[in-house]
Amino acid sequence: MSSKYLITGINGFVGRYFVEYLDEKESDAKIYGIDIAKNCDMDIQYKSLNLMDAESINKVIKSYKPDYIIHLAAMSSVAQSWEEPLNCFVNNMSAFLNLADSVRKNNLKTRILSVGSSEEYGTYNEPLKESLGLHPKNPYSVARVSQEYMSKLYVDKFGLDIVMTRSFNHIGPRQNPKFVIPSFVEQLVNIASGKSENKMMVGNIDVIRDFTDVRDVVDAYYRIIKNAPNRSVYNVCSGRGVKLRDIIDKTAKKLNIKPNIVVDPSRVRSNEVLSVIGDNSKLKKELGWKPKYKLEQTISDMVDFLKTR
Amino acid sequence: MSSKYLITGINGFVGRYFVEYLDEKESDAKIYGIDIAKNCDMDIQYKSLNLMDAESINKVIKSYKPDYIIHLAAMSSVAQSWEEPLNCFVNNMSAFLNLADSVRKNNLKTRILSVGSSEEYGTYNEPLKESLGLHPKNPYSVARVSQEYMSKLYVDKFGLDIVMTRSFNHIGPRQNPKFVIPSFVEQLVNIASGKSENKMMVGNIDVIRDFTDVRDVVDAYYRIIKNAPNRSVYNVCSGRGVKLRDIIDKTAKKLNIKPNIVVDPSRVRSNEVLSVIGDNSKLKKELGWKPKYKLEQTISDMVDFLKTR
């Protein structure tokens, strides 16, 4: 019998890739997408829904009875979480609890994927392993830590089936240029095409981050939802640190340009963590995951996407 | 110049004792109390207020400009937090953030006392020290851990002045008999007076807890708010574990009765932690605190209060 997936935030960056992954991997999968947006252009069952609305969520879950809930929707901007800490809490926590409570009240066997963040760790001078303590440094990550705690409590107390991630930066074609890497690639593509003058605005590009191609991320999520033990938590990361400067260099090389790089002080964040690198050995060892996309491939695909857009 | 105190939840068990403590210790202190209750019978400035109401809180803080906020109001029932986890989060978090944001927006130097709970620790087989990791086991304690994280973030990011506690069980005269110890004492007083038959209903009375007299608790809170370094966290506890059974014995001895103890299965909680004992050496060493009330004295005062009520 085919599996039924309920995907929240389906119109987002990861949601679309998850749908494409399922189309390929499990073509008989049934997909029900929900999102705050009015419409969805994918060929799936869709409902526009606010995840704060417990009653509407419950109606969907009660009638659809998903085997899996892939909970991708979130208020995930660190900057916004400083502007509206309470909203960040209430939105993230109520979206998650509304889903979990509905599964619980309807006595379903649904497995839930609760997505967390590398931000939960806070600052360490070593690769981030799942066993390290959590020291959240902004309201967004406090909300994520709370969501992880609550996930574990719902497993222990109510016997729910919940698997969790701490996801690091992901990149790929179609990502919104409000994020740093697509913003760089877009600027460079515009310089190469002559659409913009040769002046590239950046913040601190010597910081090191751990980037995973979004197509590898959805592969990890699929393996976790299918095979991870209940209540487990996995880093989703490449295990490799990359300087933002190196991504600019690789992109420029591919485009065959020499960009004029200008530091825009408004883009330099105070107290920015210099290096964030994850340890992905648990995900590799336990679930056989391995990233398929090299950084050069991801950048090349992002460039191609932006060129033809 | 006399200090200005804003006390939230002033009508509660701890609030009243804090006011009495100030009357004695700092008789020129100015006190502004807020509470959800309509009226307050104490001789202070009072406003009935819902702490969810950011605008009303801000009005009070903006005009009163407190030197200290003693934030005692909370939705602090573990059982209720399982019934309404989202409400527990939203209420506790928005009460705290509404206060902190108002101090921040008005650029006040106000010091805030953020009260947390021994429940933040979770289960350990050793006395609970402040340096141990936090493993909250119910939604209430997840909310308390979040409040502690947010307190630290507000100090680091906005320069606020916040001191924190992890408070263990406190007991004393006037405590609501929905709590275990006053319920025991009330039952025993009623048996001794002949008001009830000799049948005392209990849950698991072999569990060990760390009880501090509420009058010692407010002394600790006063020392913390006056002398603790910004961003510090203190256990508030006696450092001594007591079996509930021993408290029954001591109370019965004082009343000169031999109670007939009956276990009521509805009062026995599943998964109850067998022993919770705190380490108070930080509070003692750094702030010179020492509990003044021996357990016998506290019980005696509780008995006297209930006898003359």
Please report, for the domain that includes residue A198, its CATH number. Answer: 3.90.25.10
8-state DSSP, B160 = -
Q: Please tell me the distance in Å from B146's CA to the nearest CA on chain A.
A: 6
pLDDT digits (tens, 9 = 90+) for A62-103: 999 999 999 999 998 999 999 999 999 999 999 999 999 999
Q: Is a pLDDT exceeding 90 seen at residue B168?
A: yes
One DSSP character per residue, B125-146 reads: SS-B-TTSPP---SHHHHHHHH
Give, for B116, the enclosing helix (H) or strand (E). strand B111-117
Tell me whether residue B43 is exposed, middle or buried, using C-beta atoms within 10 angstroms of its C-beta: 0 to 12, 13 to 18, 19 or more: exposed
Q: Same domain for B284 and B183? A: yes
* Position A86 in a domain: yes
Distance CA A40, CA A33 (A): 8
In DSSP terms, B236 is beta-bridged to B167
The whole-model pTM stands at 0.95
Question: Half-sphere exposure of residue B155, counting CA atoms within 13 Å on the CB side?
Answer: 18
Q: Is the separation of the CB atoms in A272 and A137 below 8 Å?
A: no
Facing residue for A90 by CB, picked from B90, B138, B139: B90
Where does a domain end: B141, B167, B193? B167
Q: Strands B200-202 and B261-263, how do they pair?
A: parallel
Which residue does chain B place closest to A135, by CA atoms?
B149
Tens of pLDDT, residues B138-151: 999 999 999 999 99
Name the band, by pLDDT with cuts 50, 70 and 90, for residue A270: confident
Residue A59 lies in a domain: yes
Chain B residues inside the 8 Å CB shell of A86: 93-94, 97-98
CB within 8 Å: B89 and A157: no
Around Cβ B109, how many Cβ atoms within 10 Å? 11
Suggest the residue from B55, B57, B86 to mutate for an interface test with chain A (most A CBs closer than 10 A). Answer: B86
Instruction: Give me the CATH number covering residue A29.
Output: 3.40.50.720
Query: How close is the nearest chain B Cα to the Cα of A142, in Å?
Result: 6
- Residues of chain B contacting residue A82, judged by C-beta atoms under 8 Å apart: 157
Interface residue A150 vs chain B (CB under 8 A): yes
| Cβ–Cβ contact A86 with B under 8 A | yes
Q: Contact at 8 Å (CB) between B129 and B87?
A: no
Domain interval for residue A297: 171-209+240-278+293-308
Q: Is there a single domain that holds both residue B160 and residue B199?
A: no
A244 and A274 fall within a common domain: yes
Residue A150 belongs to some domain of the structure: yes
pLDDT at B1: 82
Segment A193-206 shows an average pLDDT of: 95
**Residue B239 backbone zone (phi > 0: left; psi -120 to 50: alpha; other: beta):** left
Residues of B in contact with A94 (CB under 8 A): 86, 90
Measured CA to CA, the distance from residue B157 to residue B101 in angstroms comes to 12
Q: What is the DSSP track for B244-284?
A: HHHHHHHHHHHHT----EEE-GGGPPTT--SB--B--HHHH
Pair A122, A190 in one domain: no
Q: How many residues does chain A have?
A: 309
pLDDT digit string, tens, across residues B178-213: 899 999 999 999 999 999 999 999 999 999 999 999
Rg (chain B; Cα; Å): 20
Nearest to B85 among A137, A150, A156 (CB): A150
Residues of B in contact with A89 (CB under 8 A): 89-90, 93, 146
Name the residue of chain B whose CA is nearest to A120's CA.
Answer: B149
Distance CA A308, CA A173 (A): 11
Nearest CB neighbour to B146, from listed A82, A137, A146: A146
Query: Is residue B270 within 8 angstroms of chain A, CB to CB?
Result: no
- For chain B, the domain total comes to 2
- The Cα B204–Cα B200 span in angstroms is 13
Q: Do B150 and A85 touch (CB under 8 A)?
A: yes
pLDDT in tens, A246-260: 999 999 999 999 999
Residues B191 and B258 in one domain: yes
Please indicate, yes or no, whether residues A187 and A132 belong to a single structural domain of this protein: no
Helices within chain A (DSSP H only): 13-25, 54-64, 78-83, 85-105, 139-158, 180-192, 214-227, 244-255, 281-287, 295-308
Question: Is the CB of residue B218 less than 8 Å from the CB of residue B15?
Answer: no
B195 domain residue, yes or no:
yes
With b for 16 or more beta-carbon neighbours within 10 A and e for fewer, the A272-298 pattern comes to ebebbbbbbebbeeebebebebebeeb
Alpha carbons B201 and B180: distance in angstroms, whole number: 11
Give the separation between CA A98 and CA A57, rounded to whole angstroms. Answer: 7
Does residue B89 sit at the A interface (CB-CB below 8 Å)?
yes
Confirm or reject contact between B82 and chain A (CB < 8 A).
yes
Mean pLDDT of B239-263: 97
pLDDT confidence of residue A1: 82
What confidence category does residue A267 fall into, taking pLDDT thresholds of 50, 70 and 90?
confident
Hey, are the CB atoms on B153 and A146 less than 8 Å from each other?
no
- The verdict on residue A141 lying in a domain is yes
**By three-state DSSP, how is residue A34 classified?**
strand
Contact A150 B97 (CB under 8 A): no
Dihedral sign for Cα B82, B84, B89, B91, please.
Answer: negative
Q: What b/e string do you get for B44-81 counting C-beta neighbours within 10 Å, with b at 16 or more?
A: bebbebebeebebbbebbeebebbbbbbbbbbbeeeeb
Last residue of a domain, one of B137, B167, B197: B167
Q: For residue A132, list chain B residues with Cβ-Cβ distance below 8 A.
A: none
Interchain pair B97, A90: CB under 8 A: no
Pairs from A1-4 (Cβ < 8 Å, separation ≥ 24):
A2/A26, A2/A28, A2/A29, A2/A30, A3/A29, A3/A30, A3/A67, A3/A68, A4/A29, A4/A30, A4/A32, A4/A64, A4/A65, A4/A66, A4/A67, A4/A68
Indicate if the pLDDT at residue B271 is higher than 90. Answer: no
Q: Considering the domain boundaries, does residue B215 fall inside one?
A: no
* Cβ–Cβ below 8 Å for B142 and A139: no
* Cβ contact B49:B35 at 8 Å: yes
Measured distance CA(A278)–CA(A286) in Å, rounded = 16
Q: Average pLDDT in the A278-306 region?
A: 97
Chain B residues with CB under 8 Å of A145 CB are 145-146, 149
Contact B90 A89 (CB under 8 A): yes
Residue of B nearest to A99 (CA): B86
Whether B126 has a pLDDT exceeding 90, the answer reads yes
Q: Give domain status of residue B220, yes or no.
A: no
**A201 and A78 housed in the same domain:** no
Residues 6 or more apart whose CB falls under 8 angstroms from that of B57 comprise B34, B49, B51, B98, B99, B102
Residue A178 burial by CB count (10 A; 0-12/13-18/19+): exposed, middle or buried?
exposed
Confidence of residue A307 (pLDDT cuts 50, 70, 90): very high
- What pLDDT is stored for residue A97 in this prediction? 98
Give tens-digit pLDDT for B47-101: 999 999 999 999 999 999 999 999 999 998 999 999 999 999 999 999 999 999 9
Residues A5-57 have pLDDT tens digits of: 999 999 999 999 999 999 999 999 999 999 999 999 999 999 999 999 999 99
pLDDT(A271) > 80: no
Shortest CA gap B93–chain A (Å): 7
Record the tokens describing residue A254, joined without a space: 């591919």
A135 in a domain, yes or no?
A: yes
